[in-house]
Each structure stands twice: as C-alpha cells, then as structure tokens.
Amino acid sequence: MLDGMLLGLETAFTFQNLFFAGLGCFIGTIIGMLPGLGPMSVVAIMIPVSLQIGDPSTTLILLAGVYYGAIFGGSTSSILINAPGEAAVVATAFDGYPMARKGQAGKALTIAAISSFSGGTIGVVLLMLFAPALAGFAILFWSAEYFALMLLGLSAVSAFAGKGKVLKAVMMTLLGLMLATVGESSLFHAPRFTMGVMDLQSGINFVTLAMGLFAVPEAFFLAIDKIRSKKTGKSGAGSSKKSQEISNLRINRKEAKAIVPVIARQSIQGFLIGVMPGTGATIASFLGYAVERNLASPEEREEFGKGSIKGLAAPETANNAASTGSFVPLLTLGIPGSGTTAVLLGAFIALNLQPGPQLLQERPEVFWSIIMSMYFGNIILLVLNLPLVPYIAKLLSIPRTFLIPFVLFFAMAGAYIGQNNATELLLLLGFGVVAIILRFAEYPLPPLLIGFVLGQMFEDNLGRAMRNANGIEFVWERPMTLTLILSAVVFILFPLLRDWLVNKRKKI
C-alpha cells in the first residue's frame, strides 16, 4: 500500500497533473457557483473535453477536481442570496444566509471554505487509508436501512420546530413530502398528481422549488423592506462600517474553538454516509446539521437557524466529506452511488478502465494518483477561494436596485438552465408567491425543502423494503433498521421533550 501511495504521489505531482487538478478545481468552482448546474451536469459537460487529454490519470484527476470544485462553489449562492442551487447545499443556507444578513457574509464564506477544505481533506485521508477495507461497509445497507436513514435525516426538521412552531414545522415537512410524490416514482408505472400537466410528469424540479421557496421571497422582502433600507441608507458611517464587516473574514479564537470539534465529527460522519451508495452529500449535510444541533449547548442551540457558525460548519464539512466518501464504492466496487459518480463511471469506461477491485491491482498509478491529487485539489480550492471571499462578499453591499434583479435573474436562470423548459419559470413564480404567503404567516420553509429532498428516497426505500419483505416485518426483524429508526425517534422527540421540560420548569 505504501508503494502504491508513493507511486500515486509520483504520478499526481507531475507538473501536468498538478496543472490539470488546479484547472479542474477552478472550472468546477466557477460553474458550481452558477445556479441549476450541479456537480453532475458540470462533470458531464467536462467529460468530452477532458478525454482529449489522452492520459487516463490526468483526465480523471481533472474530472475529480471539477467534481469537488463544483461542490465547493455551490455554497456561495446559498450563503449570499439564500439560493441553494443543488440539494447538498440546502442546509448551508440555514445558517449561512442568516449570517450574511447580519453582515457577516465574509466570515460565513470563510467558515464555509475552511469547513469544506477540512471535510474534503480528512475525507481523502480516510479514503486513502481505508478505501479497500470500506468496500464491505458500502454494501452493508439494504433498502430497509436506507429508509430508516432517511427518517433520521428528516429529524433535521426538529431544528426549526422551536418556540411553538412544532405544528408549523410538521405541516411544512408533510407538504414537502407530498410535493415529492408528484410525477413518476421509481416504484410505479404511472404518473401521480400531475393533474394532466405534462410538465409535472417527471416531478417537480428541485432547483425550481428551492429558488421559488428561498430566493424569490428574498427578492420580494428586499423590495418591500423599506425600514431596513432606510436604516442602512441614512447612517453613512454605519453603512461603511457594515460593508467593512461584510468583507471581514477573520474568525476569532473562540469561534475557531467552537467549530473544530464540529469539523472533526462531521468529517468522519459525512465520509461514512458518503461511502454508502444511495445516500450521499445531501443526507450527510442534513444529518450533520441535526446531530450538531443536538450536541450543542442550550444557548448555542438557540442560535441554530439564526446564524450559528456551528450550523454552517456542520453541513459544509459533511457534504464535502461525503462527496469524497462516494469515491469508495466507485473505486473499490465499481458501483456509482450518486448521479455524479455514475457520470464519472462513464468516464472510466471511456478510458477503458473498469473501476473495481482489479483497478487497484492492474492500474495502481491511476487509483492512487486520483486520491493523491485530491489533497492538492483541496489546497488549491482553499487558496483559490479565500482571497476571493472579500470580493464575493461585497456583492451584498451593492444597492438593492441592482441586487434584487440579480437575485431574480439568478433564480430564473437556475430554474431554466437544467431543464430548458419555460414552464419551470411559471412554477418558480407560483412557488415564490406561495412561499411569500407562508413567510408572512411565519411558517418555517426549510422543513418543506428537507421533506421534498428526502421524500422520494424515503418513499422508494420504504416501498422496496416492503415489497421485499412482503410487509413491514423488516422494521423489527432487521436490528440495524430498528436501531436507526429508534435513533430517529429519539432525535425528533428529545429536543421537543427537552424544550417542554425547560418551559415547565420556568413556569414553576
């Protein structure tokens, strides 16, 4: 194995490979920042180009760079304008955007960059040391366990259920689960709840819903919120001070101390979740968020959803670690666990390489150079992103007159690009209007999106498990499933119970 690593280092650290790793990261970050183009589309777009290089290691190093670069870049729009362009960065917006609203955009972007870097790097270390050993872990779970894991992921909604909002959070989660049933599922042959509208047959597009729920209302509230704009407009001194804070990216020692354990835990947890095909970065980010909220002290917990640095660091670390983890089933078993790794598998095949156990034996230089290049790629991403933070953060200090159309344009482009379907724009508008009404009525919207994202996988896995067991016996017959389901119940009920007890004590 040591020989392999050295061979990998040798291959990865040629000028050519370093250059292409850097190029891949750069392209990935830039395109990843755009809405509507998630890692999967970015990698798919880059494959024909990268195949022109000729050398298999270099091609794959470039593509891997594009992949984690795109995940890195995806968080920017979540934080700055509350517009998550893909499912894995939804949880990033929960606390990242409130931080930006408080004028700490620079700090939020820095924390995101550092968390991503750490999650990615620790993920690579784990990948390097344990990839072959983890092959068995990757195929440990059946649909029954995945179903239980989705349930655990749904417990992330409890973060938005505080202060008499329990019922509202539950209602929004259910609405999200319902929206996820629109269209054709992978279990049935017929479209459901499409009301005869052909454009709904493939289901509701995630980006359209996310932009409609988060970005469109944001533009609306920016427009009507006159009081806030006057405040910043009047006091000239205050606004310059604010803009200074926006681009300030320093993190003090206390904050660093707070996020280090979060990053350590979420790197490992995120990586392990990423290893299992059928979960991936989205679940990892939601679970990371839920776990860290439950582990936080009561005062810190209050901060979650309102701009907690822990709440930002957790999903950002977890989704990057998970993306690295998803290379385990791809490289060791040849199984693509996500859409993006499926596209990457296509690139391997185009290069006449079959990922799987024999890749390590027959082409160790390819196997190890991909892994080694990821170290370098993560450093590049950090170096690339940190100096840019002040400039990107400045985006928020531009006048509302320009910011509002920018946000709207961003939302519309996101809804349209992936699908090339103008109906998406109407849906975007519809979701936007509903979201504005819901916000006026003080319904929390993140649970809706969590329900929607997890809904389809939740239903599919439950349906599969039930078909296989001819009933729901699997719940108690499979110990792993039972354990996960019980943890989910504890996750959901424990915070509610705790709040209730605290309230009761206060009353006495």
Partner 1 sequence: MKNLIKLFAVTFVSVAFAAGSLSAVEINKIHFLIPGGAGGGWDGTARGTGEALTKAGLIDSATFENMSGGGGGKAIGYMIENSKSNHGTLMVNSTPIVIRSLTKVFPQNFRDLTLIAGTIGDYAALVVPAGSSYKNFKDLVSAYKKNPESVAIGGGSVPGSMDHLVPAMAFKAAGADPTKVKYIPFDGGGKAMAGLLSGEVDALSTGFSEAVGMANSGKVRIIAVTSQDRVDAAPSAPTLIEQGYNVTFVNWRGFFAAPDLPSNMRKAYIEVLGKMYNTPEWEKVRARNGWVNIYNPGDKFMVFLAEQEKVIGDLMRELGFL
Distance CA 484, CA 33 (A): 35
Binding-residue pattern over the window 304 to 333 for partner 1, x denoting contact by CB under 8 A? -------------------------x---x
Q: Mask of contacts with partner 1, 18-47, x by CB under 8 A? A: ----------------------xx--xx--
CA 297 to chain centre: 24
Q: Which of 218, 316, 460, 499 binds partner 1 (CB under 8 A)?
A: 460
Give the side-chain half-sphere CA count within 13 A for 367: 28
Give the one residue of 358, 486, 501, 502 binding partner 1; rule: CB under 8 A.
358
Rounded to the nearest 5 degrees, what angle is found at the Cα of 281, between the Cα atoms of 140 and 210? 135
Q: Is 414 in the site for partner 1 (CB under 8 A)?
A: no
Angle between helices 423-440 and 400-417 (to 10 degrees): 130
- Candidate list 248, 294, 423, 487; residue touching partner 1; CB under 8 A: 423
Interaction mask 51-70, partner 1, x per CB under 8 A: x-------------------
CB 112 within 8 A of CB 120: no
Per CB under 8 A, 468 contacts partner 1:
yes
**Residues 269-306 as b or e (16 or more Cβ within 10 Å = b):** bbbbbbbbbbbbbbbbbbbbbbbbbbebeeebbebbbe
Which H, E and C letters describe 209-241, residue by residue? HHHHHHHHHHHHHHHHCHHHHHHHHHCHHHHHH
251 contributes a contact to partner 1 by CB under 8 A: no
To partner 1, the closest distance from the beta carbon of 123 in angstroms equals 20
For partner 1, the closer CB: 90 or 343: 343
Contacts with partner 1, 110-149, as mask; x by CB under 8 A: ----------------------------xxxxxx------
- Closest to partner 1 by CB, 230 vs 467, is 467
**Distance between first and last Cα of the chain:** 63
CB-neighbour burial class of residue 136 (10 A; exposed 0-12, middle 13-18, buried 19+): exposed
Q: Which two tokens stand for residue 339?
A: 């859409």
Contact (Cβ atoms closer than 8 angstroms) between residue 324 and residue 127: yes
Rounded Cα gap, residues 242 and 413, in angstroms: 30
Residue with structure tokens 């000239």? 236
186-205 binders of partner 1 (CB under 8 A): 186-191, 198-199, 201-202
Interface with partner 1: number of residues (CB under 8 A): 54
User: Could you tell me which residues are beta bridge partners of residue 192?
Assistant: 183
Q: Where in 335-354 is the site for partner 1 (CB under 8 A)?
A: 335-337, 341-343, 345-346, 349-350, 354
Q: How far is the CB of 418 from partner 1 (least distance, A)?
A: 6
Only segment of 93-101, 222-230, 240-248, 459-467 that touches partner 1 (CB under 8 A): 459-467
Residues that bind partner 1 (CB under 8 A): 40-41, 44-45, 48, 51, 138-143, 184-191, 198-199, 201-202, 277-278, 329, 333-337, 341-343, 345-346, 349-350, 354, 356-358, 418-421, 423, 457, 460, 464, 467-468, 470
